[in-house]
């Protein structure tokens, strides 16, 4: 019997990435490749008590099927936190709980995309979003970016010449992969254009609260006057990713559509997990937990950047992330980061070559480094080694 897969699988070959990740998992390798939170900060002991309390107080309800939109007290809490952190004006009716924001990416594509429709995204953008969207076979058009975000003139050029753009996908805060944050001015200009063309925007914001310098800027969602912005949030980076709890915040009519998609997909997100987060917020202080995360990551970011400044050749340009988990390195055009990775792995250091973050390929002269997942000592040691590899490459 011939096994014939659906056409949607054609574009989803991630074997290259899996091969690289396998190599980075060798214990002797200092890997800046992943994007994992620091496990030592997971509140394991607290969650033991929280789980017990959830089961004690409402075990029957926690273990039963529940509503698709999610546990009401959690949706209320999320709306409240969003309004105070991201300057939005949402309430529980604007929120649906998802199994991580990765599910929000998949559902958005499922909801909007027919084969051949256009999605606009930053260039580069989050690899997991590229994969989620590609399953629905759209054309992904990359909008050029600079240090301040998407370039408005470039966005307008595309929107004025294409008529089947279904949505624009953006990560304005501490972008994955570049670590860059959009300026407030850019956010305003972007929304002016979006309002003019009335195109939905998917604002993906997993890192916004992990800001190590300065104030959180207004979210794109907070500037949304026409109900065009769909905001994706998650507890993965401010709490723990294993619970798989995220959310979509949007106009109520859109949330109803997401609920239809979700009920066909997995009925609802883990009822137990949702209740555990609410109970954690009742028994402990989640803001304190976030402060602890920020304290640790700020120091790791500082160690990484300081060592890069000291050890990288001057031809290697890198971003200074004010928050989040990543920095991004650009090498001269003629250097391929995949070749640098091979050399780097011989020296037991790993990173993700940047080409994977460009949906239409090219741009092989960049790479992403993660700083959340290891000690300052290991970061310094790994960056020193990487600096030697880069010097060898750039000086030959
Ligand atoms: N969006 C971006 C930009 C991310 O970096 C990630 C996780 N690395 C996600 C979405 C998905 O996060 P989760 O599903 O864990 O909420």
Nearest to 251 by CA among 90, 367, 25: 90
| CA of 130 relative to ligand 1 center, distance in Å | 12
Kindly give the interhelix angle for 15-24 and 337-346, rounded to the nearest 10 degrees. 30
| CA of 125 relative to ligand 1 center, distance in Å | 12
| CA of 159 relative to ligand 1 center, distance in Å | 27
Q: How far apart are CA 267 and CA 259, in angstroms?
A: 9
3-class DSSP assignment, residue 221: helix
pLDDT at 244: 98
Give per-residue pLDDT as tens, 302-314. Answer: 999 999 999 999 9
pLDDT at 396: 67
Nearest to 155 by CA among 91, 201, 111: 201
Q: How confident is the model at residue 16 (pLDDT cuts 50, 70, 90)?
A: low
pLDDT at 132: 96
The per-residue DSSP string of 71-123 comes to -HHHHHHHHHHHHHHH-----GGGEEEESHHHHHHHHHHHHHPPTT-EEEEEE
pLDDT at 291: 97
Determine the atom of ligand 1 nearest the C-alpha atom of 241: 15
Determine the atom of ligand 1 nearest the C-alpha atom of 171: 3
Is residue 19's pLDDT more than 80?
no
Q: How confident is the model at residue 61 (pLDDT cuts 50, 70, 90)?
A: very high
Is residue 24's pLDDT more than 80?
no
Ligand 1 pocket member 357 (CB < 6 A):
no
* Residues 177/354, Cβ–Cβ less than 8 Å: yes
Average per-residue pLDDT in the chain?
95
Is residue 360's pLDDT more than 90?
yes
| CA of 246 relative to ligand 1 center, distance in Å | 9
| CA of 134 relative to ligand 1 center, distance in Å | 16
pLDDT at 64: 97
| CA of 239 relative to ligand 1 center, distance in Å | 13
Is residue 73's pLDDT more than 80?
yes
Q: How many CB atoms lie within 10 A of CB 210?
A: 24
Ligand 1 pocket member 100 (CB < 6 A):
yes
Specify the residue with its C-alpha closest to ligand 1, atom 5: 176
Nearest to 127 by CA among 359, 368, 326, 372: 359
List beta partners, residue 95.
249
pLDDT at 18: 73
pTM score of the predicted model: 0.96
Is residue 36's pLDDT more than 90?
yes
Mutate to test the pocket of ligand 1, among 176, 203, 232, 321 (most ligand atoms within 8 A of CB): 176
Ligand 1 pocket member 176 (CB < 6 A):
yes
H helices then E strands: how many in the chain? 12, 14
Is residue 1's pLDDT more than 80?
no
Tell me the average pLDDT across 85-99. Answer: 97
> 344: phi > 0 → left, psi -120 to 50 → alpha, else beta; which?
alpha
Q: How confident is the model at residue 9 (pLDDT cuts 50, 70, 90)?
A: confident
ipTM: 0.99
DSSP state of 217: P
Ligand 1 pocket member 169 (CB < 6 A):
no
| CA of 291 relative to ligand 1 center, distance in Å | 20
Ligand 1 pocket member 171 (CB < 6 A):
yes
**Cβ neighbours of residue 129 closer than 8 Å, sequence gap 6 or more:** 105, 121, 169, 204
Ligand 1 pocket member 200 (CB < 6 A):
no
Mutate to test the pocket of ligand 1, among 96, 101, 230, 273 (most ligand atoms within 8 A of CB): 101
Residues above pLDDT 70, as percent of the chain: 98
For 85, 102, 112, 133, 337, the CA distances from 248, given in Å and listed in that order, are 16, 11, 15, 16, 35
Determine the atom of ligand 1 nearest the C-alpha atom of 246: 16
Q: How confident is the model at residue 22 (pLDDT cuts 50, 70, 90)?
A: confident
| CA of 367 relative to ligand 1 center, distance in Å | 18
pLDDT at 26: 85
| CA of 34 relative to ligand 1 center, distance in Å | 12
Specify the residue with its C-alpha closest to ligand 1, atom 8: 35
The sheet carrying 366-370 orders its strands as 317-318, 326-330, 366-370, 352-353
Ligand 1 pocket member 101 (CB < 6 A):
yes
| CA of 261 relative to ligand 1 center, distance in Å | 20
Nearest to 147 by CA among 182, 120, 115, 176: 182
pLDDT at 213: 95
Mutate to test the pocket of ligand 1, among 17, 33, 131, 234 (most ligand atoms within 8 A of CB): 234
Give per-residue pLDDT as tens, 197-223. Answer: 999 999 999 999 999 999 999 999 999
Determine the atom of ligand 1 nearest the C-alpha atom of 235: 16
Tell me the average pLDDT across 62-87. Answer: 97
List beta partners, residue 131.
none
- The two tokens of residue 140 are 């992904």
Q: How far apart are CA 394 and CA 396, in angstroms?
A: 6
| CA of 234 relative to ligand 1 center, distance in Å | 8
């Amino acid at each position: 019997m011939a096994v014939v897969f659906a056409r949607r699988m054609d574009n989803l070959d991630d074997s290259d990435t899996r091969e690289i990740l396998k190599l980075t998992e060798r214990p002797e390798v200092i890997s800046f490749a992943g994007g994992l939170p620091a496990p030592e900060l997971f509140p394991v002991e607290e969650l033991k008590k929280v789980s017990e309390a959830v089961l004690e107080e409402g075990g029957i309800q926690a273990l039963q099927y529940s509503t698709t939109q999610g546990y009401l007290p959690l949706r209320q809490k999320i709306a409240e936190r969003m309004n105070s952190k991201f300057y939005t004006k949402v309430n529980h009716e604007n929120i649906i709980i998802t199994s991580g924001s990765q599910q929000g990416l998949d559902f958005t594509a499922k909801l909007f995309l027919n084969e051949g429709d256009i999605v606009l995204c930053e260039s580069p953008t989050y690899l997991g979003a590229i994969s989620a969207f590609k399953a629905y076979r759209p054309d992904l058009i990359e909008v050029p970016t600079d240090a301040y975000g998407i370039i408005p003139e470039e966005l307008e050029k595309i929107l004025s010449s294409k008529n089947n753009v279904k949505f624009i996908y953006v990560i304005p805060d501490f972008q994955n992969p570049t670590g860059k944050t959009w300026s407030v001015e850019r956010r305003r200009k972007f929304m002016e254009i979006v309002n003019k063309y009335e195109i939905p925007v998917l604002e993906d914001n997993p890192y916004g609260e992990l800001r190590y310098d300065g104030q959180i800027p207004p979210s794109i969602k907070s500037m949304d006057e026409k109900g065009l912005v769909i905001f994706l949030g998650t507890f993965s980076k401010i709490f723990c990713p294993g619970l798989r709890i995220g959310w979509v915040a949007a106009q109520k009519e859109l949330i109803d559509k997401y609920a239809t998609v979700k009920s066909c997909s997995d009925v609802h997100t883990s009822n137990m997990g949702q209740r555990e987060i609410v109970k954690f917020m009742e028994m402990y202080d989640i803001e304190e937990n976030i402060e602890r995360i920020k304290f640790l990551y700020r120091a790791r970011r500082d160690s990484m950047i300081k060592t890069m400044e000291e050890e990288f050749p001057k031809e290697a340009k890198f971003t200074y992330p004010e928050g989040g988990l990543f920095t991004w390195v650009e090498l001269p055009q003629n250097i391929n980061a995949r070749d640098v990775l091979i050399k780097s792995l011989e020296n037991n250091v790993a990173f993700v070559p940047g080409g994977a973050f460009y949906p239409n390929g090219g741009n092989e002269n960049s790479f992403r480094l993660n700083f959340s997942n290891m000690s300052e000592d290991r970061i310094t040691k790994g960056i020193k080694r990487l600096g030697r590899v880069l010097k060898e490459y750039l000086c030959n």
